[in-house]
Every structure is written in structure tokens, then in C-alpha cells.
Amino acid sequence: MNNIKDIPDPIIINKFKSVYSPSDDSYLIIDYFKEKISNSDFDGLEFNNINNILDMGTGSGIIPIFFLLIKKKYSKFNPKIYASDILEKAILCSKLNEKINHFENEIIFFQSDLFNSFPQNLKHTFNIIIFNPPYLPSIEIEKVNNKMPINFSWDGGIKGIEVLKRFINQVIEFIDINDKKGSYIYFISSSRADIKELDNLIRERGFKRRVVKRKHIFFEDILLNRLELK
């Protein structure tokens, strides 16, 4: 397989305290894609069947910018790249980093709490969705109104899966359900989270989950999961 390991990581600058900067979980995603994307397919999905890619909770924009670098290398890889975040400053940070990496207005951005503000015409259109969510269990119960904005980046609720549960319930309406093309959803989770409860919901929604890459850091394993329709 002709891999893309020679593509450099995007240049990322983050001057916003409320925006999540790339960390081990971000690079776990990028490293996996560097291993699994060839000059003709995306982790087994043919390039010509990939029309739309979404990075949800984009933060500084490192993932969609990485996809732009792939598009620059492989002319056959030509999907529309979308990115969203709940924070307005994250969208601004991502746009600035897009320019720093010598792209402009090539990523389509939405400020949205998960899919709540997405237009209806994007339903069942995404072939690939990536989500690096808040996945750590809360240290203590806090009301959302009392949270600092950066807390949205890490606080996954009491069990570490509350945001992921909302995501799983909504994503089925936006992933491409054409069996012939295939589609993947990638998300990060923690070994500290209650993944058994999340797996029940995943099965109820018609998906199967596979851990495709992991990394041990301090007190936890961070896991890159891949969902596909059964």
C-alpha cells in the first residue's frame, strides 16, 4: 500500500484559551489515517465513493486541514471537507490555521452543538465523520452554566459518555446509509469511561464498533473507535 506518512502534520497555532489545542488524542487520529490512507482508498473506502467528510468538535482545525493536505497530494481524493464546533472561537481559530497552512475557504464550517444547527440538506450525506469529543468523566457535578468554555473540550459527564450518547443518537441521520458505498464514523473514547453502556446504544442504533488504535497515557488508555453500519 502506498501510504501518506510523508505528509507533514498541519501547522497549528492556538491563541485562544477556550479552544482545545492538538494533543495525544488528535495525533492518534492522524497517525491512524497516515497508516490507512493510500493513493486510492481511505481505510478501505474507495476515493470515488467519498463525497463529504465531517470533523465534529474541530477545535483548532487540525483534522480537516490534514485532509486538505491529502487532497493536495492525491487528485483522486476530492471530497468536500466540513468542520463544526460548539465554540465560535474554535471556528475562528480553525479558519486562521487554514490560512497558516496556505488554504483559504476550502473548509465549510458550522458553529453547532453537535448536529443541532446543521442544514437539513446534509442529512445522510457524510461518508466519513470524525469526532474527538469530551470523553473524560467529570470530576464533580457542575451545571453547564458554571463551566468555563474550555471544559467543553474534556468533560464527558459523570460516566464520560454523555456527549457521545447524544452524538450516537444524532449521527445516524447524517451518515450516508448507502451500503454499496460504505461509511465510517471515528471517535475517541477513554478507558475510564463506561463504554459498556455506550455499546448498548451503538448496537441499538444499528452500528458495530471496533477499536482501531489505542495509546496509553498516564492514568488511561485513549481509544480510537470506528463505527460502521451492521
- pLDDT tens for 178-224 read 866 789 999 999 888 888 999 999 999 999 999 999 999 888 899 99
Mean pLDDT estimate for the chain: 89
Residue 4 banded pLDDT, cuts 50, 70, 90? confident
Going by C-alpha positions, the residue among 76, 53, 66 that lies closest to residue 175 is 53
- The CATH superfamily assigned to 24-229 is Vaccinia Virus protein VP39 (3.40.50.150)
Element (H, E) at 225: strand 220-229
Q: Domain residues of the chain, as ranges?
A: 24-229
Confidence check: pLDDT of 156 > 70: no
Confidence check: pLDDT of 143 > 50: no
- Region 113-134 average pLDDT: 96
HSE of 22, CA atoms in CB hemisphere, 13 A: 21
- In Å, how far from its chain's centre is CA 52? 13
Which range (57-71, 91-105, 111-125, 150-164) has the least confidence?
150-164
Residue reference for cell 451545571: 143
Sign of the dihedral defined by the CA atoms of residues 43, 72, 26, 150, in that order = negative
Contact 189, 179 (CB under 8 A): no
Contact 183, 127 (CB under 8 A): yes
pLDDT at 139: 53
pLDDT at 145: 45
Confidence check: pLDDT of 99 > 80: yes
Q: What is the value of pTM for the model shown?
A: 0.91
- Region 19-39 average pLDDT: 95
pLDDT at 219: 81
- pLDDT tens for 30-83 read 999 999 999 899 999 999 999 999 999 999 999 999 999 999 999 999 999 999
Share of the chain above pLDDT 90, in %: 75
pLDDT at 1: 46
Q: Who wins on pLDDT, 223 or 6?
A: 223
Confidence check: pLDDT of 123 > 60: yes
